[in-house]
Structure 1
Amino acid sequence: MAYENDAGSSTPQGRRNDVVAAEKERFGGIKWGSAFFGWLTAIGMTVLLSALATAIGVGVGAANPSETQQAAEQARQNVETLGIVSGIVLAVVLFLAYYCGGYVAGRMARFDGVKQGLAVWLWGIIIAIIVAILAAVAGSQFNILGNLNGAPQIPVDGSLMTASGIVGLAIALIVPLLGAIVGGAAGMRFHRKVDQAGVHHQTGLVG
C-alpha cells in the first residue's frame, strides 16, 4: 500500500502518528485491569492446551500400544530425554497461552502493548506469591495454581533446590514473559491499523 511510506505531519501517516501520540499521552501506560483479564486468559489457555497435549499423548499411545511400551521402556532407561521432551512441550504451552493473554491485554488497553504484556506476567508473579504464601501457611490444598497446572508457580516444598526444579522454574518464568510481551505488542498493532484506516477514510484515500 502506497501510504505506508508516507511521512511528516502533513501526510495521512503523519496525522495518524500525531493523533496516536496525543491519545497515548492521555491514555497510555500499564492498564492493570486489562492485564488481569489477560492473565485470566493465559491461565485458561494453559489449562486447555495442557489438556489437549495430554489427550494427544494418550491418543497416540492408544493407537500404537506396542510403540508406547517400547517408548516407556526407553523412557525408564533415559529419564533425561523424557525430561527434555516434557520441558519443550511445557515451554510451547506456556508461550502460546501467555501470547494469548498478552494479546488480550494489548487489544483492551490499545497502547503500550509491551507494557501490557509485562503486566500480564507480573499478575502471574503476584498471584503465584500469594498462593505460595497461602500454601506455606495453610497447607498444599491452597496451591490452586498447582492443581490447575498454571504458571508461574513458586515451589514451597524444597523442589527448587534440584537441577530439574531450577530448570522448571526458569521455563515457568522466562517463557511466559516472552509470550506475553510478543502477544501484547501484536494486540496493540491491531489498533494502529484501525487508526490508519480511519485517517485514510477522512482524507478520502484508499490503501
Structure 2
Amino acid sequence: MNSGSPINSGSHINAGTPINRNVDDHGSGAAVSAGAGATTRDEVGGREQVVVRDETRFGGIQWGSAFFGWLTATGTAVILTALFAAAGAAVGLGGSDSADQAAGNVAENADTIALVGAIVLAVVVFVAYLCGGYVAGRMARFSGVKQGIAVWVWAIVIAAVAGIIGVIAGGELNVLGNLNSLPSIPLNSGDLTAGSIITALVIVLVSLLGAIVGGLAGMRFHRRVDRAVLGR
C-alpha cells in the first residue's frame, strides 16, 4: 500500500506536469498574440485620433493654398486658350484661300462657331479650375470642397478688383484685361444679350464645379496616404 501510493502519486505528478506545461505554453502564447493584436489596434486607433485632431486643427479654408490654386487656374486657362485659339485659326484658315474667304466662312457659320466657342470656353474653364482646385486641396490636405470654393472666391475677388481699377484708372491699367488671362465674355452694355448672360452664368457655375471637384481630388490623395498608414 505504501509502495503503491508513491508510485501513483509520482505517476500523477509526472503525467500532469507536461500537460500543465503545455497548457501554460499555449496559454501564454495566446496571451502574447492577443496582446500583440491589442497593441496594433491601439496604434491604429491612436493614428486615427491624430488624423481627426489634425483635421480639427488645420481644417477649414486655407486662403494661401487657394491663392496658389487660383494662380494655377489662371496659368492653365492661358495655356489652353492659346492652344484652342491656334487650333481654331489653323482649322479656319486651312480650308480658305485667303483671309477674306476665311472671314466670309466665319460670317456664314456664325451660330455654329458661337456654339462651339461656348463649349470650348466651358471646357477650358472647367479644366483650369479643376487644376486650381486640385493644387489647393493637395496643399491644404483637408476640406477639399472648401479649398475649391476658396479658389473660386479668389477669382471673383481679383476679377472684381481688376474691373474696379480698370473703371477708375482707365484701360491703361487694366492689366488682367490686357493680358487676356482668362477667356473673355462680352458683358458690355452694347454687347449684352441673353446668350452672353447665359454663357456668363454657365461659366461661373462650371468654374465653381471644376474647383470643387479639383479640391476633392487633391484632398483624396492625403486620404489614401492616411489609409495606407493605418493599414487599411
* 8 Å contact from structure 1 (residues 114, 181) kept in 2: yes
Cα deviation 1:60-110 (Å, max 9, x = unaligned):
3454446x9887545413422221110000000000000000000000000
Q: What is aligned with 2:24?
A: none
* 8 Å contact from structure 1 (residues 132, 155) kept in 2: no
1:59 correspondence with 2:101: no
The structure with more radius of gyration: 2
- Find 2:228's aligned residue among 182, 191, 197: 197
- Find 2:136's aligned residue among 83, 105, 122: 105
- Find 2:212's aligned residue among 166, 181, 184: 181
* 8 Å contact from structure 1 (residues 16, 199) kept in 2: yes
1:96 correspondence with 2:113: no
* 8 Å contact from structure 1 (residues 124, 151) kept in 2: no
CA distance in 2, matches of 1:147, 1:101: 22
1:85 correspondence with 2:120: no
* 8 Å contact from structure 1 (residues 36, 123) kept in 2: yes
CA distance in 2, matches of 1:69, 1:22: 66
- Find 2:163's aligned residue among 121, 127, 132: 132
Of 96-105 and 74-83, deviating more is: 74-83
In structure 2, the CA distance between the partners of 1:152 and 1:27, relative to structure 1 (3 Å rule), is farther
Q: CA deviation at 1:189?
A: 0.1
Q: What is aligned with 2:59?
A: 28
Cα deviation 1:149-181 (Å, max 9, x = unaligned):
334879774257322331232133111111000
1:47 correspondence with 2:78: yes
* 8 Å contact from structure 1 (residues 112, 188) kept in 2: yes
Q: Which amino acid aligns with 2:134?
A: Y
1:149 correspondence with 2:180: yes
Tell me the TM-score normalised to structure 2 length. Answer: 0.72
Of 143-152 and 125-134, deviating more is: 143-152
Superposed, which structure 2 residues align to 1:107-126 within 5 Å?
Answer: 107-126=138-157
**Structure 1 vs Structure 2 CA RMSD:** 2.9
CA distance in 1, matches of 2:104, 2:183: 31
CA distance in 2, matches of 1:129, 1:23: 34
CA distance in 2, matches of 1:152, 1:194: 37
* 8 Å contact from structure 1 (residues 132, 143) kept in 2: yes
Q: What is aligned with 2:197?
A: 166
Q: CA deviation at 1:42?
A: 0.2
* 8 Å contact from structure 2 (residues 121, 183) kept in 1: no
In structure 2, the CA distance between the partners of 1:37 and 1:84, relative to structure 1 (3 Å rule), is same
CA distance in 2, matches of 1:186, 1:42: 15
Unaligned runs of 5+ in 1: 1-9, 201-206
Of 54-63 and 83-92, deviating more is: 54-63
* 8 Å contact from structure 1 (residues 152, 169) kept in 2: no
* 8 Å contact from structure 1 (residues 128, 154) kept in 2: no
